Amino acid sequence: MADRIIINEVGPRDGIQSQDGELSLEQRRLFIQALLDAGIRHLEMGSFVSPRAVPQMAGTDDLARSLEVPADVHLSALVPNTKGYELAREAGVKTVAVVASATDTMNQKNIRMSLDQTMRVCLEIIERGSREGVRVQAYLAVAYECPFEGSTNPAVVIDLAAQLLESGATELVVADTIGAANPAQVKQLMGTLAASHPVERLACHFHDTRALGLANVYAAIEQGIRRFDASVGGLGGCPFAPGAKGNVATEDVVMLCEQMGFETGVDMPALLEVVDLIGSMLGRTQGGRAHYWLSKNAA
């Protein structure tokens, strides 16, 4: 574990949910298959949310049923509430993700519930997952800064993290939803969490709004974190969070980790082909900060 970084690819959900156009179910399936062919083994394939709110995620149940994946692949889907959880279970999804924002306003804007209400829903789904054999990843959104309330109190994040992990969440993902964190903040927060909880249950989700995404990944690695969300080509952004730009690019994170001596299991040339594929599907060029160099030098 110490020498391996687990990349959780979120392009098929977080990456495309904020795009102007909508991909067909067959395009989404081909996108996911290409990522798996490139060596990705942890992947967020969609979300069970209202298609009226997020039309890009319509038909995720049919998509889940159509996917045939190897036993070593872990597919997850975001669920906003117990109805979403039940739909995911019916579709055969074995890992779900719940999201609680660390500020009250962000929860209201995102899912029209208070922080307390959101936490009750998350804890209920975690408890059900524990009983019913479903892995539940718990996300803490706006963990560093909220677009509506400003800087997030670290003490609140630490308290919410403890509640989610102690209730049985398989994994806690600390999310810098609008890309506002800096490496010093990441070092402090993730170091504190790693001192109190098993590091293998901690993960990070960074956006690259201020060009600090990779620096924040490095700061988290230094604190023992070995699980990271990333989105191929830097796709992403939250439609409910003003200022949330693309996720840190998968190819950038893979490059950083492997040049530092870690294993990711990802085939870089094949991953770059996926960047081209999703770019053609969306009708615009995609790529992380190192894409030009990688396209010239990745063998």
How far lies 291's CA from each of 73, 105, 179, 234, in Å?
26, 36, 20, 10
| Strand bridging mode 145-146 / 150-151 | antiparallel
Residues annotated as catalytic are: 238
Rounded Cα distance, 93 and 58, in Å: 16
pTM confidence score: 0.95
∠ CA(280), CA(281), CA(287), 5° rounding?
A: 55
Nearest to 193 by CA among 214, 212, 219, 230: 219
- Three-state DSSP at 189 gives helix
What is the C-alpha end-to-end distance of the chain, expressed in Å? 26
Give the pLDDT score at 111: 86
**pLDDT for position 128:** 97
Return the residue matching tokens 């960047």: 275
Q: Could you identify the residue written with the tokens 């870089």? A: 268
d(CA 203, CA 224): 10
Supply the DSSP symbol for 248: P
The CA-atom distances, in angstroms, between 144 and each of 67, 148, 225 are: 35, 12, 17
What does the pLDDT read at residue 282? 93
In tens digits, what is the pLDDT along the chain, a chain of 299 residues?
569 999 999 999 999 998 888 899 999 999 999 999 999 999 999 999 999 889 999 999 999 999 988 999 999 999 999 999 999 999 999 999 999 999 999 999 888 899 999 999 999 999 999 999 999 999 999 999 999 999 999 999 999 999 999 999 999 999 999 999 999 999 999 999 999 999 999 999 999 999 999 999 999 999 999 999 999 999 986 665 665 678 999 999 999 999 999 999 999 999 999 999 999 999 988 999 999 999 999 86
For residue 111, CA distances in Å to 49, 145, 164, 204 come to: 10, 18, 18, 22
Query: Do the Cβ atoms of 43 and 76 come closer than 8 Å?
Result: yes
Contacts of 69 (CB under 8 A, 6+ apart): 36, 75
Nearest in space to 153 (alpha carbons), one of 161, 163, 164, 145: 145
Q: CA–CA separation, 179 vs 208, rounded Å?
A: 5
